[in-house]
Copies of this chain bind each other. A is one copy, B any other.
Amino acid sequence: MIEPRILKGFRDMLPQDERIRLRLQDILQRVFRSYGFVPIDTPLLEYTEILLGKGGGETDKQIYRFEDHGGRDVALRFDLTVPFARFMAAHYSELPLPFKRFHMAKVFRGENTQRGRYREFTQCDFDIVGVDSVSADFEILNLMADSFAALGTTGISLRVSHRGLFNQLLDRLGIAGETTEVLRLVDKLRKIGADKVREGLIALADDQAAEDILAFIQPLDNNQATLENMIRLAGGESAAAARLRGVLELATESSMAADVVLDPSITRGLDYYTGIVFETFLSDLPQIGSVCSGGRYNDLAGLYTKQLLPGVGASIGLDRLLAGLDELSRLPQLGPETQVLVFCLQEDCLSACHRVAGLLRADGWRVEVYPEAKKLPKQFAFAEKRGIPLGIIIGPEEQEAGTANLKDLRTRETIDGIPVAHISHQLRELAPEFSVSARHGGDSGL
């Protein structure tokens, strides 16, 4: 006997959890599509040289890498951005630019599982490639807001800043050479606090530069004041300043105005962003970190092609978001999987049972036939365990007469002798919340 264990950091998804995950993915997909984003997919396994590119850093240690049957050096993807860059380099000439894609799929990282992280998790990425404009920057922000609204997540804080403006500040301070170290420090602000960041900055530059950086990354009373402060410290107007102002103006005139916060401490660390950057926090659960992050990059696929492909995008960490919504008890409430159970009294009646189930399914009901002629109490217990609200009983008499007995399993109300053709109508009267129009609304049932 082999012990049925799974690898550390990996999970089985039981039906309740998987239904919710599929439901969230379905909601997100609808929002992405409503903006004209189209789905793509890429292989889970790629050449390691593609995935690691120049290499270096954490990724090299975390990647699942091995030699395949043909002696090729291959690896499982660790994000959806690198495969997308490779995809665009290979296919940009076949695609209408600007190109808007979404990609929801599994990625793999051999991370330390102590911190409650999974080694297999789902990312949802969306990007607009082939254009560098205020409209595209704003659209990603808009899409982030609409995604969380569609998920029913209130109390989100969409934090934006601009990496170009930050670079402008470092240029003015004459410490552009220390950008990497400064970014690394600022990115840790939430974790280590302002004092430690100040210490680190003073070690990198002079006191005045440290104070200017700390003043720059400080959000003020409102976005307008923060923006003016940033521009003043960065040395005045610039293309970066104009872009950030443009995005904020569009946000102010939109319905999500209240959720957008200009937060200059957002830098996205060492990532490859060059323009606007985004992070998203749940106001009631800031400690889980950003549940949707992204920004603008001026050269997506430079490792694989000479074609310059600027873009802007963001990524939702679905597992972290799920965990967060669960902790806040804000996961979508899903109705019963099965709405109608056709009880099985005796095998002779199976044909009628399956026929009625088929008629109801054609009418949009989710129906199952109890699969054997067990005693009725056992079948009722099964219905209760599964939370099935409606029942149908067909015995020899009903089969003969072409009728069925209906049972509301919630109230134990029974309606006998309904002609087969009228069952669907009668069930709708009993349980209007499962009617076709209700089903065609938001709840696709998964």
The binding surface of chain A is classed by DSSP as mixed
Closest residue of B by beta carbon distance from A301? B4
The answer to whether B15 and A120 touch across the interface, beta carbons within 8 angstroms, is: no
> What is the CA–CA distance of A104 and B72 in the complex, to the nearest angstrom?
28
The answer to whether A34 and B96 touch across the interface, beta carbons within 8 angstroms, is: no
Instruction: Tell me if A427 counts as interface (CB < 8 A to partner B).
Output: no
Instruction: Tell me if A380 counts as interface (CB < 8 A to partner B).
Output: no
The answer to whether A7 and B366 touch across the interface, beta carbons within 8 angstroms, is: no
A393-446 contacts to B, CB under 8 A, are 440, 445-446
A438 to chain B, nearest CB (A): 12
Neighbouring B residues of A301 by C-beta, 8 Å: 4
Neighbouring B residues of A110 by C-beta, 8 Å: 68-69
> What is the CA–CA distance of A49 and B5 in the complex, to the nearest angstrom?
10
Segment from A169-177, A179-187, A195-203, A247-255 that makes contact with B: A247-255
Neighbouring B residues of A305 by C-beta, 8 Å: 1, 4
Segment from A261-269, A287-295, A350-358 that makes contact with B: A350-358
> What is the CA–CA distance of A358 and B370 in the complex, to the nearest angstrom?
46
Most chain B C-beta atoms within 10 Å of own C-beta, residue among A53, A120, A361: A361
Neighbouring B residues of A41 by C-beta, 8 Å: 12-13, 18, 21
The number of times this chain is found in the oligomer is 2
The answer to whether B7 and A361 touch across the interface, beta carbons within 8 angstroms, is: no
A87 to chain B, nearest CB (A): 6
Instruction: Tell me if A106 counts as interface (CB < 8 A to partner B).
Output: yes
The answer to whether B67 and A128 touch across the interface, beta carbons within 8 angstroms, is: no
**With A29-B446, A38-B15, A351-B250 as given contacts, are A43 and B337 in contact (CB-CB < 8 Å)?**
no
Neighbouring B residues of A142 by C-beta, 8 Å: 354, 358
- Pick from B7, B18, B135, B306: contact of A39, CB below 8 A: B18
Chain A's interface size range is 35 or more
Neighbouring B residues of A446 by C-beta, 8 Å: 29, 33, 39
The answer to whether B40 and A14 touch across the interface, beta carbons within 8 angstroms, is: yes
The answer to whether A96 and B4 touch across the interface, beta carbons within 8 angstroms, is: no
Against B, the Cβ 8 Å flags (1 = close, 0 = not) of A47-86 are 1011001000000010010111110101010000000001
10 shortest A-B CB distances, which residue pairs?
Answer: A36-B368, A66-B66, A10-B43, A15-B38, A13-B41, A36-B338, A4-B89, A4-B304, A133-B372, A136-B371
* A-B contacts, 14 listed (Cβ < 8 Å): A1-B303, A2-B304, A6-B46, A14-B40, A14-B95, A19-B38, A36-B338, A44-B106, A45-B64, A66-B66, A135-B369, A146-B361, A250-B351, A440-B440
